[in-house]
Amino acid sequence: MMTKFTGLDSDVACECKTIKDPVDCTGFFHNHDGYEILLLLEGDLDVYTESGGKSLERGDLVCFCEYDFHRASLRSRKIYDRIVINVKDSALTAASSERMKLKDCFYGHKQVPLNVVRLNESEIAEFSAFAHALERCLGSDRPGDEILADAYLKLLMVMVNRKILSGATWQYREIMPEIVSQTFCYIEKHLTEEITLKKLEEYIHHNGTYISRCFKNITGISLQQFIIAKRVTLACRLLQQGYSPSDVCFQAGFNNYSNFSRTFSKQMGGLSPKQYQIQKR
């Protein structure tokens, strides 16, 4: 089974990348133990979360919350030019002030299902300049560049927060198929229960094989893989809240501890539930 969880190697990561022949850049549904910002500069890209999907255009900036599942899917082999910033909760908390909580931009855009805004050309240029400087400083060992990296991160996050929290939004065409939206909805409501194709068929009123095929076309993974990954993500949240691993096992929908521990470790890069909990303290 493919790992759906991607642990961040550092508190902050920034990648400004242009791919001229994007053959294998389409990913599958995954999540991180941190927040993510994606700015599309050029390319034909569809982005999906459990909440919805959009065909991105130049200047579209998407904010993903920590542990939120998402996928970027290329529609063509045109040049793919984008900026991706990943940042852990602790780094955003440390960089925040009383008047501005830098995590707010990941939660504050409630008018549309996908947390996305569009930057104008001036804003694209400013964001790109800060991001390239951040990437350069993060990759440098020159004394003082760690201070500059912190400053550039703050500049970027203040810019994104002001843009999103200003209420700037517009209506866009939803590209998530209704049958997949209903599937996400059912899984969310019944995550800790037994989920079967038969129950999905009764809820959605479609053939189970067809539901599975539509789901995998959008997410890149099977229904069962997603359900397991969702349960592990729920377990992560519960462990961070201080629940014991044995209690979390059943609260997250697993039927025995041995299966839970083995599945958790496989999804989380070898960490046991207890090791993960200790690491997050």
pLDDT score recorded for residue 2: 47
Average pLDDT over residues 197-218: 96
| Exposure letters 87-108 (e unless 16+ CB within 10 A, then b) | bbbebbeebbeeebebbbbbeb
Average pLDDT over residues 213-221: 95
pLDDT at 1 over 50: no
CA 20-24-27 angle, 5° bins:
120
Q: What is the pLDDT of residues 165-204, one digit of tens each?
A: 887 666 678 999 999 999 999 999 999 999 999 999 999 9
Euclidean distance between CA atoms 256 and 118, whole angstroms: 46
Q: What is the pLDDT of residues 61-86, one digit of tens each?
A: 999 999 999 999 988 878 899 999 99
Euclidean distance between CA atoms 215 and 134, whole angstroms: 37
Euclidean distance between CA atoms 262 and 256, whole angstroms: 10
Average pLDDT over residues 48-56: 94
Q: What is the pLDDT of residues 254-268, one digit of tens each?
A: 999 999 999 999 988
Q: Kindly list the structural domains of the chain, giving each domain's residue range(s) and its CATH number in brackets, ordered by start.
A: 5-165 (2.60.120.280), 178-279 (1.10.10.60)
Sheet strand arrangement including 12-19: 12-19, 80-87, 35-42, 60-64, 116-118
Euclidean distance between CA atoms 2 and 4, whole angstroms: 6
Average pLDDT over residues 53-64: 95
Euclidean distance between CA atoms 4 and 249, whole angstroms: 19
pLDDT score recorded for residue 246: 96
pLDDT score recorded for residue 107: 87
pLDDT score recorded for residue 24: 57
Q: Which of the four pLDDT bands, split at 50, 70 and 90, describes residue 245?
A: very high
pLDDT score recorded for residue 281: 74
Average pLDDT over residues 120-138: 98
Mean pLDDT of the chain: 91
pLDDT at 238 over 70: yes
pLDDT at 113 over 90: no
pLDDT score recorded for residue 126: 98
CB 30 within 8 A of CB 6: yes
